[in-house]
Structure 1
Amino acid sequence: MEGGGDQDLRLLDIVTSSHDENTVKQSSEKIDNENDSKKISDNKRKREDSKSDDETISNGEHGLSTTESKDTTEMKSSSQDTMHEAGEVPDASRLLHRTTSIFFRHLTMQTTNDDLENMCKQYAGFRRVCITDPAPERKFFRRGWATFDYSVQIRNICYELNLTKLHDTDVGAIVNRELKNRVRTISGIAHHKTIVRNDLRLITKIIKQLDAQWNIWESNENDHNEKKVTISDDSEISSSTMNTSSIQNKNPIGFISYNPLLKNITEYLVEEGDAEEEELLGDASTTMENNSNAFEIDKELTKVLDRLILYLRVVYSVDYYNCADYTQEDSMPNRCGVIHVRGGLLSTITQKELTNFMQQFESRLTVYMDSHEKIDDDEALKLGAKNEENEIEKFMDANCQEVSKDKWSCPLSGKKFKGPEFVRKHILNKHHDKIDEVKKEMIYFNNYLYDPKRPQLPEHSSNRPGATAAAPHPSGLPLPTPMTVQPLFTRAS
Structure 2
Amino acid sequence: MTVRRFDPYKLDYLVSFRQFAEYVNNRTRGRRYDDRELSEQYAAYKRDYTKRQCKKFFDAHHEMAWFREKYHPMERQRWIEEVHALKRENYEQFKLDAAAGKYDDICLDEGVTDVKTLANINADEESDTVLFVKSITPAIGREKVIEMCKSVEGFRYLAVSDPNALKRFHRFGWIAFKEGSDIKAAFDKLNNQKIEEFEFHLGFHKKVPNVKPRYAPEITNHPQRLKKDLGRIADVIAVLDDEVRSDLNGIELVNELFHKICATKLSTETNGTMESIDTWKMKKQLDLLIEYLRQVHMFCYYCGFGADNPMDLERRCPIQHYRKVGEIPESPGAYWRADYTLDKWTRALDARLDFKDKPAHKIDVEPLGGRQTEDVSTACSWDYMSKIAEQRYACTLCSKQFLGPGFVMKHLGNKHTIKVDDLVQKQFYNNYVRDPNRLMPNMQPPTNTFFPQIASAPVGTPLDQIPRIGFEPPTTPAAPLALPAMPRQVTSYVDLDAPAEGDLELNYG
Q: TM-score, normalised by structure 2?
A: 0.42
Rg larger in structure: 1
Task: Give the structure, 1 or 2, with the largest relative contact order (CA under 8 Å, sep 6 or more).
Answer: 2
Q: TM-score, normalised by structure 1?
A: 0.43
